[in-house]
C-alpha cells in the first residue's frame, strides 16, 4: 500500500494518492470532494464541476483505488 500523499489544489489538504479526486479533463486541476462546492478562480466563481482554472475544462470524479 502506498503512503504517498498529494495536496488538493484548492485547500492544500494532503490526501493519499489513492483517493477520490475531482480532476479537470483539460488542465489536470485536482480538488478533494469537500472543495467541489467552494473552488473558485478566473473561469468559475461558484464551485461545481466547471473547472475554475481553465476555460473549457470539466472536473470529473476519479477514484484511483478502483483504476
**Would you list the DSSP string of 8-58?**
-TTT--EEESSSEEEEETTT--EEEGGGTTT--BTTBSS-SSB-SSSSS-B
* Structure confidence at residue 2 (pLDDT): 65
* Structure confidence at residue 67 (pLDDT): 42
Q: Which residues of 2-29 are buried (b: 16+ CB within 10 A; e: fewer)?
A: eeeeeebbbeeeeeeeebebbbbeeeeb
* Structure confidence at residue 65 (pLDDT): 42
Express as a percent the part of the chain with pLDDT over 90: 82
Amino acid at each position: 500500500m502506498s503512503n504517498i500523499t498529494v495536496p488538493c489544489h484548492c485547500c492544500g489538504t494532503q490526501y493519499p494518492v489513492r483517493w477520490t479526486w475531482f480532476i479537470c479533463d483539460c488542465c489536470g486541476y485536482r480538488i478533494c470532494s469537500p472543495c467541489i462546492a467552494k473552488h473558485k478562480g478566473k473561469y468559475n466563481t461558484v464551485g461545481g464541476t466547471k473547472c475554475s482554472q481553465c476555460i473549457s475544462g470539466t472536473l470529473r470524479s476519479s477514484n484511483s483505488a478502483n483504476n
